[in-house]
Amino acid sequence: MFRCRGGTVRFLRKGKVKEVYEVSARELEFFFTDQISVFDKVIPTQVPHKGETLCRTSAHWFQVVEDLGIRTHFLRLEGGDRMRVRRVEVIPDYDKIMPTTKNFLIPLEVIARYYVAGSFHDRIKGGRIQPEDAGFP
């Protein structure tokens, strides 16, 4: 147990780059660390502000999904590297999910690789480099 904004929280679990805390019977808090995970291994080096970037990116996509009418467990950001979520049931055995089962989370992880951004994007748009030369179709 430790104190955070709004009260005491209890540590529940740690993933490769995220920690989960119980805030109340109905809410959890995700803490996104600055750790690096490559091929399911945690690298000892940290990337400053990586946790905040992952947290804000996740919040963005939760909002996009909700704008499409799909309910999520996301509630709000709590600072740069933390978010509050509804506590929902995770059913690890998919065979137990029936058409009548309600209010459960479908675990989903999205990994983005091989995308173009920043100055590299500007160089492609400006014609200074061809996408094919960088391995893109």
By CB atoms closer than 10 A (0-12, 13-18, 19+), residue 29 is buried
**Domain containing 49: what range?**
2-130
Predicted model pTM:
0.72
Provide the mean pLDDT of the chain. Answer: 86
Q: Which pLDDT score is estimated for 109?
A: 74
32 belongs to a structural domain:
yes
**Is residue 95 a part of any domain in this protein?**
yes
Q: Give me the number of domains the chain comprises.
A: 1
* HSE toward the beta carbon, residue 64, CA cutoff 13 A: 6
Please, are residues 29 and 10 in contact by the beta-carbon 8 Å criterion?
no
Report the pLDDT value the prediction gives residue 78, as an integer from 0 to 100: 93
Instruction: Please give the Cα distance from 94 to 102 (Å, whole number).
Output: 13
The pLDDT score that the predictor gives to residue 103 is 72
Report yes or no on 51 lying in a domain: yes
CATH number at residue 118: 3.30.200.20
* Separation of alpha carbons 114 and 38, rounded Å: 15
The band of 16, judged by pLDDT with boundaries at 50, 70 and 90, is confident
Residue 137 lies in a domain: no
Task: Give SS3 for 95.
Answer: helix
| Number of Cβ atoms within 10 Å of the Cβ of 19 | 16
